[in-house]
Amino acid sequence: MPLKLRPLLLAALPFALCAGWALSTPVQAATQVVQVRDLPIGAGRPKVIVSTSGKTAEQVLEQGHAAAGSTAVDILELRLDLLTFATDADQVAALGRQLVQALGGKPLLLTFRSKREGGAGELDDAAYAALYGKLLQAGFADLIDVEMRRDERSIKALVVEAHKTGAKVILSSHDFQGTPSNADMLKRLQRQQALGADILKLAVMPHDGGDVARLLQVTWNMHERSPRPLLIMAMGGTGTVSRLAGETFGSALTFGSQGQASAPGQIEADVLHQTLEALHQARQSSS
């Protein structure tokens, strides 16, 4: 085992072992695999997403080629809110088509992240929905990330439009101030499911290990109740272990970094991939 993996595996071990209290309920929902191109989300090890950080088309395309050439990267997230031309749908669509070619079959996720959710963008609900609508009609997106705090009618319309074009929808909720109560976190995920999301996403900021443990408990509880794949993480250094423990607790996706991290606590994609693969193999050998 590479030496750089050992600290990560040792950090993940206590949380994997504490799955005993989570595994006490024998019945759980079978995860519905979401197929995106050749990638089965919800089967095998958690899939790794990396995000673009470029402001120009040239910078983003360079990052796209790097992601395409990396065995550690499963999905590329195009962060629209960071682009200098973020609200120009025609320019974004042209870039998106180029990225699809560069990725060589790897899925492309579109995300416009607002400031209140930890991003750089500022669009009201109508403009946000209109931008996504135009980009979906352009037909290059495999997945889109929609913030669940947006207008409910806009969310439902985007879910319908996405599914018409064959794109999958991640509904997301971010809390950079703390970790809500277990009931609140579970309620957010259940609402995402009710709104028609294909993948349910929750990211929180823990203040201590107890917050991380609560998030993992909620992850398992939702995994028991819902067939939808989950994308759940605690941010920051304290929460890093949650990015490794997904397969044990039911989270099917995670974020890594390739260059600049898009959120606090991300692990470099190559190390993350190797660690997830090692944990997956250990689970397989003991089953």
Question: Which one from 47, 174, 223, 273 is the annotated catalytic residue?
Answer: 174
- Catalytic annotation present for 201: yes
**Would you tell me how many other CB atoms lie within 10 Å of the CB of residue 243?**
26
What is the SS3 assignment for 178? coil
Cα–Cα distance, 171 to 196 (Å, whole number): 9
User: 257: which 2 tokens?
Assistant: 């970094």
Q: Which residues pair with 81 in a beta bridge?
A: none
- Catalytic annotation present for 273: no
User: 60: which 2 tokens?
Assistant: 């983003």
**Would you tell me how many other CB atoms lie within 10 Å of the CB of residue 3?**
6
For 173, residues 6+ apart whose C-beta sits below 8 A from its C-beta are 117, 147, 148, 149, 188, 192, 201, 202, 203
What is the SS3 assignment for 208? coil
Cα–Cα distance, 244 to 259 (Å, whole number): 19
Question: Which one from 47, 106, 201, 273 is the annotated catalytic residue?
Answer: 201
Residues assigned a catalytic role: 174, 201
